[in-house]
């Protein structure tokens, strides 16, 4: 993955001048001695530039994610670590050899000076081993953290790159698992796994070489007694644990998915008395996770002791055959001793390798999951030669658009609609008719199956997503607020807006009173998803957000459905001001809202069945005429002349 920013990328850090400007120094009239001091302080201030992260649909590494590719850039560092590992292991494995020399050349011949030299060499070996492993552990630890950072940011950017469809089809909890448990499994692998693996494999190799040079016959007997059994056992373990750890990774994703859904849906769960049932369901999900873990650890439990048994049996065989060789005089006592020590040392790494193999398996399972995740392409790709959409007048054309979410049921069919610049068009129709879908297609959350959508003659699939969405303001049917204060939420599309602008936008939609009532005004916190606000207040905040952004084309999807009549009237007056010279699509269930538009389109079953001004449609006497008549009867509004004046019921003639 490459995270280097292209020049001028909006994600590169602020310059030094920006930083000092942000420090808020007055730009005139600072006495020179103060100025000097200020410069000194500013120079001493640490820079906190944003990390260099380039983010677009195209500049990321599109090759499959593999361990080798991921570690590739750190090849040299890893080779260095491996060098240290070699030194470390050789120093450690010198021990039994030195013991053998001590016994055969010093103890048996009773030579104290040789004994002193051997002991000193032993001590030196220990010092070298400790030093090398300290440096190596520090290095790999830091490298592991850096790699994890890179991977976390990479996966997160990948999420940001995806189209909306991705988040409908993937469970939040599963995505969270990729970010937590899977990445942690990889971290465990990097931090000690890979290098330890090298240590252990190297230990085995060194011991084999030393044993063979000491006494080839005995080495052969030892290896024959131990290696085939060990190999068979390991082959079995390999396949069994692979299955086991794959299962564990899947189950933990289920657990997190269930958890996140339960937490998000707590209100409904409580209201519907599903707490008890929910606990049972979660117990089942967690139970499957437990079973997967039990299976994996059973496999480990068989492998560990079995390999130990093989080791001990090997030692017994060695004692028997080696002892006879000592009796025959073909082996010295020291050599037998060294053999026994090495055989013990031979099994320690095998035990370790089992542990490592576990973490390797988990790491590989995680790599597989991450590879699948990182290989998903956005469903709505920005074409590589996409152009910037220039500032538009706002002529929106749907040309013969058909669309389906799942490829089977058509949600929009042969949809044709031309909206002139500055025109406000209302879209009405029954629940599930496809109204919100029209808004989503125009925002290019999805691409139509056939037909084109264009703004000012530019097909929206040929322009950059950012330049398109900058000019579109969408107030969705379910507004989303972020954890932060009101100011942050209103200024979401325009973080550079001044406090006055934010306040003005809030005043326009009628939030003045709420803000005055809150203890910290604009800086009052909005809890996660705006849970501390009422639905109407959330809608008002979303409207203020859209008003502040002053987009060229505004799309309101049931944006006033939760407001009382007074607030709605206020918002509509504000809309009149905001919409001046802008194109607007207003999706509404309430006829009173729809009537204010220049033209009204009626959608039913994904088709535009009527289109015209209020008067034309009433005269036509079709769907809209019927809805209007019903509304008139319900509200007792005799003429239908000016629906703005009074709509005591805020009638909902479509009766969803
Ligand atoms: N993400 C999705 N995946 C599959 N089908 C979807 C998806 N979103 C909406 N639909 C289906 O598409 C159809 C149109 O949905 P849409 O949201 O456009 O309706 P709507 O006219 O806005 O209704 P409402 O008045 O209730 O807001 C519905 O039948 C709905 O079930
Ligand atoms: Mg809708």
161-186 residue pLDDT tens: 888 888 877 777 778 877 887 888 88
- Tell me which residue has tokens 């220039």: 390
Measured in angstroms, how far is the CA atom of residue 586 from the centroid of ligand 2?
A: 11
CA–CA dist 468, 553 (Å, integer): 10
Return the ∠ at Cα 321 (arms to 317 and 322), rounded to 5°: 105
Q: Which residue has a Cα nearest atom 26 of ligand 1?
A: 431
Backbone φ, ψ for residue 574 (5° rounding): -65, -40
User: Is the Cβ atom of 431 under 6 angstroms away from ligand 1?
Assistant: yes
Task: Provide the pLDDT for residue 354.
Answer: 67
User: Is the Cβ atom of 404 under 6 angstroms away from ligand 1?
Assistant: no
Q: Is the pLDDT of residue 378 over 70?
A: yes
Comparing C-alpha atoms, which of 514, 582, 518, 525 is closest to residue 554? 582
Tell me the two tokens of residue 479: 């507004």
Tell me how far CA of residue 550 lies from CA of 210, 421, 457, 553, 586, in angstroms.
78, 15, 21, 9, 16
- Tell me which residue has tokens 């000092």: 20
What homologous superfamily is domain 404-471+559-574+585-647 in, according to CATH? P-loop containing nucleotide triphosphate hydrolases (3.40.50.300)
Q: Which atom of ligand 1 is nearest to the CA of 164?
A: 1
Report how far Cα 359 is from the mean position of its chain's Cα atoms.
22
User: Is the Cβ atom of 406 under 6 angstroms away from ligand 1?
Assistant: yes
Half-sphere exposure of 550 (CA within 13 A, CB side): 10
Q: Are 140 and 192 in contact (CB under 8 A)?
A: yes
Task: Provide the pLDDT for residue 383.
Answer: 82
Measured in angstroms, how far is the CA atom of residue 435 from the centroid of ligand 1?
A: 8
**At 153, is the pLDDT very low, low, confident or very high (cuts 50, 70, 90)?**
confident
User: Is the Cβ atom of 411 under 6 angstroms away from ligand 1?
Assistant: yes
Comparing C-alpha atoms, which of 461, 465, 451, 544 is closest to residue 502? 544
The conformation of residue 393, written as its DSSP 8-state character, comes to: -
Task: Provide the pLDDT for residue 56.
Answer: 57
Return the ∠ at Cα 558 (arms to 556 and 561), rounded to 5°: 130
Comparing C-alpha atoms, which of 303, 312, 318 is closest to residue 352? 303
User: Is the Cβ atom of 4 under 6 angstroms away from ligand 1?
Assistant: no
Comparing C-alpha atoms, which of 466, 468, 472 is closest to residue 552? 472
CA–CA dist 318, 219 (Å, integer): 9
Q: Are 585 and 417 in contact (CB under 8 A)?
A: no
Tell me the two tokens of residue 184: 């942690």
Residue 367's CB is within 10 A of a number of other CB atoms, namely 19
What homologous superfamily is domain 478-550 in, according to CATH? P-loop containing nucleotide triphosphate hydrolases (3.40.50.300)
Tell me the two tokens of residue 458: 């530019």
> In a mutational test of the pocket of ligand 1, which residue from 434, 475, 589, 590 has the highest number of ligand atoms less than 8 Å from its CB?
434
Task: Provide the pLDDT for residue 651.
Answer: 41
269, with CB counted inside 10 A (0-12, 13-18, 19+), is middle
User: Is the Cβ atom of 159 under 6 angstroms away from ligand 1?
Assistant: no
Minimum mean pLDDT among 361-375, 380-394, 416-430: which range? 361-375
What homologous superfamily is domain 67-374 in, according to CATH? ABC transporter type 1, transmembrane domain (1.20.1560.10)
User: Is the Cβ atom of 168 under 6 angstroms away from ligand 1?
Assistant: yes
Measured in angstroms, how far is the CA atom of residue 430 from the centroid of ligand 1?
A: 11
Q: Are 654 and 430 in contact (CB under 8 A)?
A: yes
Q: What is the mean pLDDT of residues 222-238?
A: 82
Give domain limits for the chain: 67-374, 404-471+559-574+585-647, 478-550
Comparing C-alpha atoms, which of 517, 557, 552 is closest to residue 539? 557
Ligand having the closest approach to the CA of 557: 2
Strands 583-587 and 424-428: parallel
Task: Provide the pLDDT for residue 420.
Answer: 92
**At 282, is the pLDDT very low, low, confident or very high (cuts 50, 70, 90)?**
very high
Q: Which residue has a Cα nearest atom 6 of ligand 1?
A: 405
> In a mutational test of the pocket of ligand 1, which residue from 436, 438, 558, 652 has the highest number of ligand atoms less than 8 Å from its CB?
436
Q: Is the pLDDT of residue 288 over 90?
A: yes
CA–CA dist 246, 596 (Å, integer): 58
Q: Are 83 and 134 in contact (CB under 8 A)?
A: no
Ligand having the closest approach to the CA of 476: 2
Q: Are 599 and 417 in contact (CB under 8 A)?
A: no
User: Is the Cβ atom of 249 under 6 angstroms away from ligand 1?
Assistant: no
Comparing C-alpha atoms, which of 567, 562, 565 is closest to residue 512? 567
String of DSSP letters for 48-91: -PPP-----SSSS--S---HHHHHGGGHHHHHHHHHHHHHHHHH
- Tell me which residue has tokens 């990097």: 190
- Tell me which residue has tokens 């074409």: 383
Minimum mean pLDDT among 4-18, 132-146, 348-362, 596-610: which range? 4-18
Q: Which atom of ligand 1 is nearest to the CA of 438?
A: 18
Residue 512's CB is within 10 A of a number of other CB atoms, namely 13
Comparing C-alpha atoms, which of 426, 379, 386, 432 is closest to residue 584? 426
CA–CA dist 495, 119 (Å, integer): 70
Contacts of 592 (CB under 8 A, 6+ apart): 631, 643, 644, 647, 650, 651
User: Is the Cβ atom of 432 under 6 angstroms away from ligand 1?
Assistant: yes
CA–CA dist 216, 403 (Å, integer): 76
CA–CA dist 361, 619 (Å, integer): 72
Measured in angstroms, how far is the CA atom of residue 606 from the centroid of ligand 1?
A: 10
Ligand having the closest approach to the CA of 434: 1
CA–CA dist 347, 345 (Å, integer): 5
Comparing C-alpha atoms, which of 316, 529, 552, 513 is closest to residue 421? 552
Task: Provide the pLDDT for residue 47.
Answer: 56
Domains 67-374 and 478-550 share a fold: no
Comparing C-alpha atoms, which of 581, 587, 536, 548 is closest to residue 417? 587
Contacts of 549 (CB under 8 A, 6+ apart): 473, 493, 494
Q: Which atom of ligand 1 is nearest to the CA of 589?
A: 25
Q: What is the mean pLDDT of residues 125-146?
A: 86
CA–CA dist 125, 93 (Å, integer): 9
User: Is the Cβ atom of 433 under 6 angstroms away from ligand 1?
Assistant: yes
Task: Provide the pLDDT for residue 222.
Answer: 79
**At 59, is the pLDDT very low, low, confident or very high (cuts 50, 70, 90)?**
low
Q: Which residues of 496-507 are buried (b: 16+ CB within 10 A; e: fewer)?
A: ebeeebbbebbe
Strands 450-455 and 458-459: antiparallel
Contacts of 479 (CB under 8 A, 6+ apart): 530, 538, 539, 541, 542, 559
Measured in angstroms, how far is the CA atom of residue 541 from the centroid of ligand 2?
A: 19
Task: Provide the pLDDT for residue 13.
Answer: 39
Q: Which atom of ligand 1 is nearest to the CA of 168?
A: 1
Task: Provide the pLDDT for residue 419.
Answer: 93
* 459: three-class secondary structure by DSSP: strand
**At 9, is the pLDDT very low, low, confident or very high (cuts 50, 70, 90)?**
very low
Share of the chain above pLDDT 90, in %: 14
CA–CA dist 49, 360 (Å, integer): 36
């Amino acid at each position: 993955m490459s995270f280097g920013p292209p020049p001028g990328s909006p994600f590169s850090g602020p310059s030094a001048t920006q930083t000092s400007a942000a420090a808020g120094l007055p730009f005139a009239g600072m006495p020179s001695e103060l100025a000097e001091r200020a410069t000194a302080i500013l120079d001493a201030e640490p820079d906190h530039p944003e990390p260099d992260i380039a983010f677009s649909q195209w500049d990321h590494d599109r090759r499959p994610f593999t361990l080798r590719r991921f570690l590739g850039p750190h090849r040299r560092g890893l080779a260095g670590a491996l060098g240290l590992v070699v030194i470390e292991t050789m120093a450690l494995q010198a021990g039994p050899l030195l013991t053998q020399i001590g016994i055969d050349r010093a103890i048996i011949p009773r030579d104290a000076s040789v004994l002193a030299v051997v002991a000193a060499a032993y001590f030196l070996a220990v010092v070298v081993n400790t030093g090398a492993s300290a440096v190596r552990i520090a290095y790999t630890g830091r490298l592991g953290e850096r790699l994890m950072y890179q991977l976390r940011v990479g996966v997160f950017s990948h999420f940001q790159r995806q189209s909306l469809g991705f988040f409908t089809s993937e469970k939040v909890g599963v995505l969270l698992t990729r970010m937590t448990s899977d990445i942690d499994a990889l971290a465990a692998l990097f931090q000690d796994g890979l290098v330890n693996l090298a240590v252990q494999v190297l230990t085995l190799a060194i011991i084999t070489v030393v044993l063979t040079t000491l006494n080839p016959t005995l080495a052969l007997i030892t290896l024959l007694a131990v290696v085939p059994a060990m190999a068979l056992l390991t082959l079995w373990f390999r396949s069994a644990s692979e299955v086991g750890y794959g299962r564990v990774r899947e189950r933990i994703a289920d657990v997190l998915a269930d958890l996140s859904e339960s937490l998000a849906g707590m209100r409904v769960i409580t209201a519907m008395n599903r707490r008890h049932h929910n606990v049972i369901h979660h117990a089942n999900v967690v139970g499957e996770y437990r079973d997967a873990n039990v299976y994996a650890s059973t496999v480990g439990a068989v492998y560990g002791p079995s390999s130990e048994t093989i080791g001990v049996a090997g030692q017994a065989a060695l004692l028997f055959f080696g002892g006879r060789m000592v009796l025959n005089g073909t082996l010295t006592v020291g050599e037998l001793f060294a053999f026994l020590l090495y055989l013990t040392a031979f099994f320690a790494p095998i035990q370790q390798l089992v542990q490592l193999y576990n973490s390797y398996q988990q790491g590989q399972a995680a790599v597989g999951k991450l590879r699948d995740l990182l290989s998903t392409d956005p469903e709505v790709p920005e074409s590589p030669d996409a152009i910037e959409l220039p500032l538009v007048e706002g002529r929106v054309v749907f040309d013969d658009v058909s669309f389906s979410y799942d490829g089977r049921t058509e949600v929009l069919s042969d949809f044709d609609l031309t909206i002139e610049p500055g025109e406000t068009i209302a879209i009405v129709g029954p629940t599930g008719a496809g109204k919100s879908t029209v808004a989503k297609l125009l925002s290019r959350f999805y691409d139509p199956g056939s037909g084109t959508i264009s703004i000012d003659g530019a097909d929206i699939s040929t322009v950059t997503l950012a330049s398109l969405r900058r000019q579109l303001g969408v107030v969705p049917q379910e507004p989303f607020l972020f954890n932060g204060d009101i100011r942050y939420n209103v200024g979401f599309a325009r973080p550079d807006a001044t406090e006055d602008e934010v306040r003005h936008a809030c005043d326009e939609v009628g939030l003045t009173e709420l803000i005055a009532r809150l203890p910290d005004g604009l800086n009052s916190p909005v809890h996660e998803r705006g849970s501390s606000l009422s639905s109407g207040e959330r809608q008002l905040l979303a409207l203020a957000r859209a008003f502040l952004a002053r987009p060229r084309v505004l799309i309101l999807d049931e944006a006033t459905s939760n407001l009382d009549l007074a607030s709605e009237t206020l918002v509509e007056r504000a809309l009149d001001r905001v919409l001046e010279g802008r194109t607007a699509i207003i999706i509404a269930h309430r006829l009173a809202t729809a009537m204010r538009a220049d033209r009204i389109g009626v959608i039913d079953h994904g088709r535009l069945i009527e289109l015209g001004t209020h008067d034309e449609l009433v005269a036509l006497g079709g769907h809209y005429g019927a809805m209007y008549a019903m509304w008139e009867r319900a509200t007792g509004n005799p003429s239908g002349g000016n629906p703005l004046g009074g709509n005591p019921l805020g009638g909902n003639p479509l009766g969803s």
